[in-house]
Structure 1
Amino acid sequence: MRFSVLASGSTGNAIYIENDQHAFLVDVGLSARKMEQQFTMIGRDLKKLNGIFITHEHSDHIKGLGAVARKYGVPIYANRKTWEAMDGHVGEIPVDQRFQFDMETVRSFGSMDVQSFAVSHDAVDPMFYIFHENGRKLVLITDTGYVSDRMKGWIKGADSFVFESNHDVSMLQMGRYPWSVKRRILSDVGHVSNEDAAVAMSEVVEQKETRIFLSHLSKDNNMKDLARLSVSQTLQSCGIMPGEFVHLFDTDAQKPTELVTV
């Protein structure tokens, strides 16, 4: 199983996952043209996609969904409430491309199992995904205001995480956003901070080689170096030394990561 974070941030999000038999996207938060460019950068072809999994209806996750779905005829998976919330925002998607993926269920695609789980975010019914194959586990968890014990139970022990590290609290508090937006981001249905993300990470990583890709960084209230430093320091305070078995990686709003084997 291999993956690339094609884009991650306030302006658009998309993650590519493949094995030898299947190729999937999680979210299409970029235009169809931009998605084609991202695929070219990792040496892959949108025409070979077998499915797209949607996490929730916010525009930075579905911006290009309608155009990509219609152009490439790809099956789309989302839960019922998310489908209802997307109607009117993604244009017409043929009925034979629309599939319901219920919360806290598993779908199998050959040797790959895809598991959905709930997060805490101000969308109608947000959920993220865990990919399993041959005893390896890839967790995607962004767009959540906190990481509950229930979430930790689902994601614990992954070999690779794409983990939200959205904002630095001080930058957010002193920044230009109106207080209503700051309050929303800091709430239990907003986004996790660097430090809160790291505390959650410390409780779900196991004593094995683990890659963590810091994702969904705010362009106004965070920086890559700051996120990495804050997460590293917090992990150390929790007794985990980054570089020993836990390795941190950046993601970018414009440039995809290299394809990584889970």
Structure 2
Amino acid sequence: MIFCPLYSGSSGNSIFVASQKTKILVDVGMPGKSIESALKHINQNPNDIDGIFITHEHSDHIKGAGIISRRYDIPIYANEYTWEAMETKIGNVKENNIKIINNNSVDIMDMHIANYKISHDAAAPIGYALYSGNKKACIATDLGYFSSEVKTIIKDADVILLESNHDVEMVKFGPYPYPLKKRILSDVGHLSNDACGQAIVEIMNDKQKHIILGHLSKTNNFPELAYQTVANILKENCIEIGKDISLDLARRNMPSDVIDF
């Protein structure tokens, strides 16, 4: 499989995932031209995308979904409540490209795309676990907290995009109004750097994992701070980066490194 966060952060999110026969995008939260540019950067053609899978209806996850669907005739997959919440925001989509997810999974050729519930302040937010052969990748961002369901789903994945959204003290003393601070720090908000580090400790087992820290806040975090906070927690728990685990950061404004696994 191939896994690449094209954009990741509070400004916009989109992830490219491919198996031998299938290519999909999870979320399209950037303008169409930005998505096209990112795909070109990693030598991928948007005409080859087989589906767009939406986690939830917030603008940083759906901004370019309608444009890309119309331009390249790509189906958009989302659960019923997410469709209802986003359909007026993405423009007209061809009827045959509206795919309502009614079950826990969808199969597209050789890729199995399972979904699972996450805690976030959206209509019916979900994360995705993507399988092909004996490989598995998971996308776990926009988590209010690290639930037992999320833990169970992602613990055996080869590659995980895991939220490391904010530093708690930066939120508390930052410029956001109090209601927004309260929302970010709540169980339907976002996962902090410390919570991310602890989550990684909880899913450690004998399986070698490649974890990418993603969805970093532009206002309440720094890439170096997110990485170092998580690294310190791993070190405190005798987990060695480069030996027990691979740890990377997803870039905000350009594609991250392509992971081929």
Residues 20 and 110, structure 2, Cα contact 8 Å, conserved in 1 = no
Residue of structure 2 in register with 1:213 after alignment = 212
SS at match of 1:15: strand
One-letter code of the match for 1:163?
L
Distance in 2, matches of 1:8 and 1:102, equals 27
Q: Report matched runs for 1:132-171 at 5 Å.
A: 132-171=131-170
User: 1:109-156 CA distances to partner (integer Å, 9 max, x unpaired)?
Assistant: 222211100000000000010011221110100001101112211111
Distance in 2, matches of 1:110 and 1:40, equals 24
Residue of structure 2 in register with 1:46 after alignment = 46
Distance in 1, matches of 2:201 and 2:19, equals 28
SS at match of 2:120: coil
Distance in 1, matches of 2:209 and 2:108, equals 24
Q: Report matched runs for 1:113-262 at 5 Å.
A: 113-262=112-261
SS at match of 2:138: strand
SS at match of 1:121: coil
Using the TM superposition, give the Cα deviation of residue 166 of structure 1 relative to its aligned residue in structure 2, in angstroms. 0.2
Q: Report matched runs for 1:3-22 at 5 Å.
A: 3-22=3-22
Residues 78 and 101, structure 2, Cα contact 8 Å, conserved in 1 = yes
User: 1:36-80 CA distances to partner (integer Å, 9 max, x unpaired)?
Assistant: 111111111111110000000000000001111111110110000
How many residue pairs get aligned? The number is: 261
One-letter code of the match for 1:68?
I
One-letter code of the match for 2:42?
I
Residues 22 and 110, structure 2, Cα contact 8 Å, conserved in 1 = no
The RMSD of aligned alpha carbons is 1.1
Using the TM superposition, give the Cα deviation of residue 102 of structure 1 relative to its aligned residue in structure 2, in angstroms. 3.2
Using the TM superposition, give the Cα deviation of residue 200 of structure 1 relative to its aligned residue in structure 2, in angstroms. 1.1
Distance in 1, matches of 2:109 and 2:204, equals 27
Distance in 2, matches of 1:122 and 1:20, equals 35
SS at match of 2:43: coil
Residue of structure 2 in register with 1:86 after alignment = 86
One-letter code of the match for 2:48?
K
Residues 102 and 116, structure 1, Cα contact 8 Å, conserved in 2 = no
Using the TM superposition, give the Cα deviation of residue 243 of structure 1 relative to its aligned residue in structure 2, in angstroms. 2.1
TM-score by length of 2: 0.97
SS at match of 2:176: coil
User: 1:57-108 CA distances to partner (integer Å, 9 max, x unpaired)?
Assistant: 00000000111111111011000000000121011111100111136x1222
Residues 116 and 127, structure 1, Cα contact 8 Å, conserved in 2 = yes
Using the TM superposition, give the Cα deviation of residue 203 of structure 1 relative to its aligned residue in structure 2, in angstroms. 1.2
Percent of residue pairs bearing the same amino acid type: 39
Residues 79 and 102, structure 1, Cα contact 8 Å, conserved in 2 = yes
Consecutive unaligned residues in structure 2, runs of 5 or more: none
Does residue 73 (structure 1) correspond to residue 73 (structure 2)? The answer is yes
Residue of structure 2 in register with 1:26 after alignment = 26
User: 1:173-204 CA distances to partner (integer Å, 9 max, x unpaired)?
Assistant: 11111111110000000001001011111111
One-letter code of the match for 1:7?
Y
